[in-house]
Homo-oligomer: A and B are copies of this chain.
Amino acid sequence: MLSREKNELLTRTGPGTPMGTLLRRYWLPAALSLELPEPDGAPVRVRLLGEQLVAFRDSSGRIGLLREFCAHRGASLFFGRNEECGLRCIYHGWKYDASGNCVDMMNEPADLDFQSKIRLSAYPTMELGGLVWTYLGPPEQQPPLPRFAWALVPESHRHVYKTWQECNWLQALEGGIDTSHANILHRRLHPTDARHGIVPSATFVRAGAPRLEVYPHEYGYLYAGVRSLDDEQVYVRTYHYVMPFTQIRPGPLDMVKPHNAGHIWIPMDDENCMVYHWTYSMGAEPLSEEDRLEPGSGREPSEHLPDFRKVRNKDNNYLIDRQAQKTELFSGIVGINNQDNAVQESMGPIVDRTQEHLGPADKAIIIARQMLLDAVDTARAGGDPPGVHGDYEQLHAIVGAYPRDGSWQAAAGGTHQPLAAQV
């Protein structure tokens, strides 16, 4: 449970808000590279932390990210002409380069040199790992681009995509770092279950419930779910929570080939977020075309609308099938991503955390909130929040059976003392 004040503090990200100030200290994904496939192509609207922006790839391939509205009289540059290394407003022909400098005005005499006085808000951009990244914070505090292994492998080994989720960023993130729902919400029902359509005794699930361990690091934490298999072995599944909005986890293919996946949850505004997700091959073998389609994930191309919203969404109750819910799918909703979105969005645009009741299984969420609150304080005091200078290339998640001798900790990349959460 959170107080109303803390819930507001964690969920509001517009300019000037404490959480907005914290998030602006990090590089943020603004778009997929594939949304801007060619020089001088169509610009795209970008909503980021409550700001309305427009992105374009200029003639040289450089990506500009500008305030959406022309400095002259406020017409949208989404309609702009992307030409000769700049985005030109169709209203009076004011043209901006990718740095926001006004480089031409068609409606004023050239000798006036009015244009040299005009600058449009622009944010720096970098492309890496199939994403366009940007930094919305104070220039003097701009850190280097974060290094993630998935972003550094060849394109052949990586798949990235994104989903528009219609709720606050924090409840989407909390859904991602919460592992305890995985074998409940995403569970398939089988004809061999004792009673068709009725979930087998919860005892079955509980018996299998793992011991949850959280190991704090400078960047966030390592999370492990550890199950006893026998006297010799434990079954371990780990992920990393990288402050403030990233998760690195085992991918669906991890059991058959070395492979990791993850999410980045970015506020569009306080009632919408964009969830970037990626998967990559950690071995020599590239991803296959089928890997990229992510079958069963609910992220297949047929599940998305052109604006990255979902075909199954809150307006159609995610096309829940009550008959399937009895006999095939615990949730009745097709697609893992749709299942996650359904429960997270069903809480409302910003869930009222004064009404919640957290238990031990919510440890990861409790600790992440506390880390975010601490980081807000650090940023307020002018310090560097956790992970802004981090190199994450070595971070990886593991899943599998390990001997009870400490070797999973070594494989997971080392641990420290586990952290207790105050429920």
Q: Which positions in A face B, CB cutoff 8 Å?
A: 40-42, 69, 71-76, 78-79, 81, 83-84, 88, 90-93, 95, 104-110, 112, 114, 117-118, 171, 174, 180-181, 184-185, 197-199, 202-203, 205-206, 209, 317-318, 320, 322, 325, 330-333, 339, 342-344, 346-348, 351-353, 355-362
Contacts and interface: CB of A to CB of B under 8 A. Distances in A.
Number of copies of this chain that the complex holds: 3
Given A90-B331, A180-B92, A346 B108 contact: no
Contacts of A317: 78-79
A331 B79 CA distance: 7
A356 B91 CA distance: 14
Contact of A73 (B331, B332, B356): B356
B351 A107 contact: no
Contact of A347 (B74, B332, B342, B343): B74
A90 B343 contact: yes
B346 A76 contact: yes
Contact of A185 (B91, B114, B332): B91
B79 A343 contact: yes
Contacts of A205: 93, 106-107
A329 to B, nearest CB: 9
14 contacts: A73-B347, A73-B356, A73-B362, A79-B343, A81-B332, A88-B199, A90-B332, A91-B181, A91-B184, A106-B206, A107-B180, A107-B209, A108-B359, A110-B202
